[in-house]
């Protein structure tokens, strides 16, 4: 039995192993195109040198990983065929991915009812850090109605090629990302998937900032009601703003202050006039007490010096 780094010629084998791992069980209903996303992730892992194949006169299992930041990697796939288990292959595959990613920390997602996998990962040294809960939005009492969300990631650079390469390697793959020409020292990145999911927009901003070592601003409207921006430097969140800080629920006082925008930090990273930022970063207890979100977004964009990408 051997474990080796996978190559382009192994792609179909990796896809087949992933399909075998999933078997007839239904894929998560909240993931749009789960199989396609998983296959795209395998391709990205392979190209980054973090996909491995175990074999012995045929494939026995595989593992893949992705580098989320300079400090955190993720073990995205790990599967060993039943007949090859209890031989240390899963452990070896996981270690190969960890060494390839070369991040101080590694995370992995496990289904809540998969007791065997959870026990295996605990033996490897993983510990529970947070629990992800999923519910049908329509069943939530008092859930906020869905509204228009959109946004853009603004990268402080004139290196268009570097931004395009970083966007192309983002996982999950973006179906039709739009990367603008540099304007006043900023390049804007937009994608339909990020418009539908503000969390994906924030994740894209974090990864681009980390990969490019750049100042990056994610600026958008959520649910046709509130405006948010996240300002990052080298993958680290430096400042954040939400026009209605407790729109999604009560927060500790420190978190409320943290969402108020810090004009000094914004000015240091973007060159903006702190007085203009302070005037544009409007707050209220309710969206009805504020101007329309498009107007707030346009004011913030003008104050910071980026193009207002309103749709």
DSSP-derived secondary structure for the chain: -EEEE--GGGHHHHHHHHHHHHTTSPPPTTSTTHHHHHHHHHHHHHHTT-EEEEESSSEEEEEEEEE-SSSEEEEEEEEE-GGG-SSSHHHHHHHHHHHHH--SEEEE---TT-HHHHHHHHHHT-----------GGGSTTPPPP---EEEEEES-S-HHHHHHHHHT-SSPPSS-EEPPPBTTBEEEE-HHHHH-HHHHHHHHHHHHHHHT-EEEEEEEETTTEEEEEEEETTEEEEEEESSTTTTS---HHHHHHTB--HHHHHHHH---HHHHHHH----SSGGGS--HHHHHHHHHHHHT------
51 within domain boundaries = yes
249-307 pLDDT tens trace: 888 988 899 999 999 999 999 999 999 999 999 999 999 999 999 999 999 999 999 99
Q: Is residue 96 part of a domain?
A: yes
Q: Are residues 100 and 153 in the same domain?
A: no
Q: Determine what percent of the chain is predicted with pLDDT higher than 90.
A: 72
Q: Mark whether 148 and 294 lie in a shared domain.
A: yes
Residue 138, in any domain of the structure: no
Q: Report the C-alpha gap between 249 and 166 in whole angstroms.
A: 34
pTM above 0.75, yes or no: no
Partnered with residue 233 across adjacent β-strands are 215, 236
Q: How many CB atoms neighbour CB 228 within 10 A?
A: 24
Domain containing 152 — which CATH number?
A: 3.30.70.1270
74 and 119 together in one domain: yes
**Is residue 141 over pLDDT 50?**
no
Judgement on whether residues 80 and 151 belong to the same structural domain of the protein: no
Q: Which domain holds residue 111?
A: 2-124
Q: What is the pLDDT of residue 29?
A: 65
pLDDT at position 136, please?
63
Tell me how many domains the chain contains.
Answer: 2
**8 A C-beta contact, residue 73 and residue 65:** yes
Are residues 97 and 156 located together in one domain of the fold?
no
Question: Band of the pLDDT at 24, cuts 50, 70, 90?
Answer: low
**Separation between Cα atoms, residue 157 and residue 209, nearest integer Å:** 11
**Is residue 156 located within the same domain as residue 52?**
no
Taking residues 36-61, report their average pLDDT.
92
Q: How many C-beta neighbours within 10 Å does residue 86 have?
A: 8
pLDDT value of residue 30: 61
**CATH code of the domain in which 26 resides:** 3.40.630.30
């Amino acid at each position: 039995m051997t474990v080796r780094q996978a190559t382009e010629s192994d792609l179909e084998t990796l896809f087949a192993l992933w399909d075998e791992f999933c078997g007839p069980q239904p894929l998560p209903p909240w993931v749009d195109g789960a199989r396609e996303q998983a296959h795209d992730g395998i391709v990205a892992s392979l190209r980054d040198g973090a996909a491995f194949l175990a074999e012995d006169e045929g494939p026995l299992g595989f593992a893949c990983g992705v580098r989320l930041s300079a400090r955190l990697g993720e073990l995205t796939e790990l599967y060993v065929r039943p007949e090859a288990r209890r031989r240390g292959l899963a452990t070896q595959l996981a270690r190969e991915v960890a060494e390839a990613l070369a991040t101080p920390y590694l995370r992995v997602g496990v289904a809540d009812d998969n007791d065997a996998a959870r026990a295996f990962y605990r033996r490897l040294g993983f510990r529970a850090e947070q629990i992800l809960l999923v519910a049908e939005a329509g069943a939530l009492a008092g859930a906020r109605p869905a509204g228009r969300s959109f946004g853009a990631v603004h990268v402080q650079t004139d290196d268009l090629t570097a931004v395009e390469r970083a966007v192309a390697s983002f996982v999950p793959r973006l179906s039709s990302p739009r990367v603008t020409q540099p304007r006043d020292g900023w390049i804007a990145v937009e994608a339909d998937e990020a418009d539908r999911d503000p969390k994906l927009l924030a994740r894209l901003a974090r990864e681009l900032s980390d990969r490019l070592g750049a100042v990056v601003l994610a600026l958008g409207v959520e649910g046709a009601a509130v405006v948010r921006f996240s300002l990052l430097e080298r993958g680290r969140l430096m400042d954040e703003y939400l026009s209605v800080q407790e729109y999604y629920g009560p927060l500790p006082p420190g978190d409320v202050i943290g969402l108020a925008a810090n004009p000094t930090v914004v000015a240091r990273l973007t060159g903006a006039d702190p007085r203009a930022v302070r005037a544009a970063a409007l707050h209220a207890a309710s969206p009805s007490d504020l101007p329309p979100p498009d107007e707030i977004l346009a004011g913030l964009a003008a104050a910071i010096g980026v193009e207002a990408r309103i749709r």
